[in-house]
Amino acid sequence: MVLKAEIHCHLEGAASPALVEGQARKYNVDVSGIISDGKFVWEDFTQFLKCYDGAADLFRSSEDYALLTESYLSELAADDCIYSELFISTDHARAIGISEKDYIDGIAEGMRRAKEETGIEARMIATGLRHGGPESVLRAAQYVADNPHPLITGFGMGGDERMHHPKDLAPGFEVARAAGLGITTHAGELVGPESVRDSLDYIKPSRIGHGVRAIEDAELVKRLADEQIVLECCPGSNISLKVYGGFDEHPFMALRAAGVPVTLNSDDPPHFHTSLKREYEIGAKEFGLSAAELTEITRTAVKAAFVDEETRKQLLAKLD
Ligand code: ADE
Ligand code: ZN
């Protein structure tokens, strides 16, 4: 049994079609445009983001969020995951018309329930929405800086990587950094190595979401290894979104061989027909990693986690 940890998963993107359909019945909403035969349907990244927002729109109260968080974390724990960081988005709270506080309290309650039932440790990474622009990212950062919560330990950014330059998005990250939050950002998923380089230069994260397209620039790969920037790799997501044609083309092992710290994550699991368990299976079957090597990947994730040192020590002890 390999213990797992996940540091890149979008909470709203983790809602299973069955759970979303249940919410759709509760709120009497037609979801046939985004779910068909029990599966989410989308064709490309732009449609995926729409599908994601359609599912997110059905979580409309603190209790809905507690349920979503508890169900996802309990599934993870059943697959031997000991630690989870979930990307949350106060923009979703605004979109459904609940307060940021109710949204965060609901998620924290779900984390509390899951921990009580299974022992799983979890934290939130607040995110700004890149396609919302610099002001929106700054607003998201300002909210968490002004309203510190013990379970919100990081700040990141998702959304459409093809929009807005990291230089323009940096002010939000500076606010989050000054508030003591760990910093990560999506880059090098849809856009090439320049997006990773510019993110390192302007946003200065300790981790990059995906980052896999850094492989196209040898200098940059060396920089990632030298600076020990941790990549939150999500191979199943990359194949599903056609960033790579197959696992044989995926740069996970090449990055690892170059000394870049890599981790395995599920991103938006049901959208990409994956789970954290499946990502570790991909590690074993497609990349040829042994159980000891997979445990080392979990160790990399825990070392890079946005968590207090006492909790990190306890998590690392479980891996020994
Ligand atoms: N938001 C949710 N999933 C995402 C992904 N894979 N890339 C960028 N933003 C996202
Ligand atoms: Zn992501």
Ligand 1 within 6 A of CB of 186:
yes
CA of 156 to the centre of ligand 2 (A): 10
Q: What is the mean pLDDT of residues 112-133?
A: 97
What pLDDT is attached to residue 16? Answer: 97
Say if CB 276 and CB 4 are below 8 A apart: yes
Which residues lie below 8 Å from residue 305, measured CB to CB, with a gap of 6+? 5, 7, 83, 85, 123, 312, 315
Q: Which of 12, 49, 160 to probe ligand 1 with, by most ligand atoms within 8 A of CB?
A: 49
pLDDT value at residue 316: 98
What value does the mean pLDDT take over residues 11-24?
A: 97
Does any ligand 1 atom lie closer than 6 A to the CB of residue 263?
Answer: no
Distance in angstroms (rounded) separating the CA atoms of residues 170 and 138: 9
Report which ligand 1 atom has the smallest distance to the Cα of 237.
6
At residue 144, the pLDDT reads 98
| pLDDT confidence of residue 219 | 98
Instruction: Give pLDDT tens digits for 133-183.
Output: 999 999 999 999 999 999 999 999 999 999 999 999 999 999 999 999 999
Note if 116 is an active site residue: no
Mutate to test the pocket of ligand 1, among 189, 190, 231, 271 (most ligand atoms within 8 A of CB): 189
Give the pTM.
0.97
Q: Which of 3, 7, 2 is nearest to 303 (CA)?
A: 7
Q: How far is the CA of 32 from the centre of ligand 1 (A)?
A: 22
Band (pLDDT 50/70/90 cuts) for residue 206 is very high
Taking all residues of the chain, what is their mean pLDDT, rounded to a whole number?
97
The pLDDT of 40-59, averaged and rounded, is 95
Question: Which residues carry a binding-site annotation for Zn(2+)?
Answer: 8, 10, 186, 267
- Going by C-beta distance under 8 Å and a sequence separation of 6 or more, which residues neighbour residue 173? 137, 141, 155, 157, 183, 185, 203, 204, 205
User: Ligand 1 pocket check: which of 51, 127, 186, 189 to mutate, most ligand atoms within 8 Å of Cβ?
Assistant: 186
- Taking residues 73-101, report their average pLDDT: 97
Q: Which two tokens stand for residue 213?
A: 């397209």
Provide mean pLDDT across the span 227-233.
Answer: 99
Task: Give the pLDDT of residue 103.
Answer: 98
Counting residues of the chain whose pLDDT is more than 90, the rounded percentage is 100
Instruction: Give yes or no for residue 237 CB within 6 A of ligand 1.
Output: yes
For residues 8 and 103, give the distance between their C-alpha atoms in angstroms, rounded to a whole number. 19
Q: Which of 75, 85, 100, 189 is catalytic?
A: 189
Q: Evaluate: CB of 268 within 6 angstroms of ligand 1.
A: yes
* Structural domains of the chain in order of their starting residue, each with its CATH number: 4-319 (3.20.20.140)
pLDDT (0 to 100) of residue 251:
98
Ligand 2 centre distance from Cα of residue 85 (Å): 12
CA distances from 284 to 153, 288, 310 (A): 31, 5, 31
Predicted local confidence at residue 60, as pLDDT: 97
Per-residue pLDDT of 231-248, as tens digits, reads: 999 999 999 999 999 999
CA-CA distance, 132 to 274, in Å (whole number)?
27
Q: Which two tokens stand for residue 193?
A: 């190595």
pLDDT of residue 287: 98
In this predicted structure, what is the pLDDT of residue 259?
98
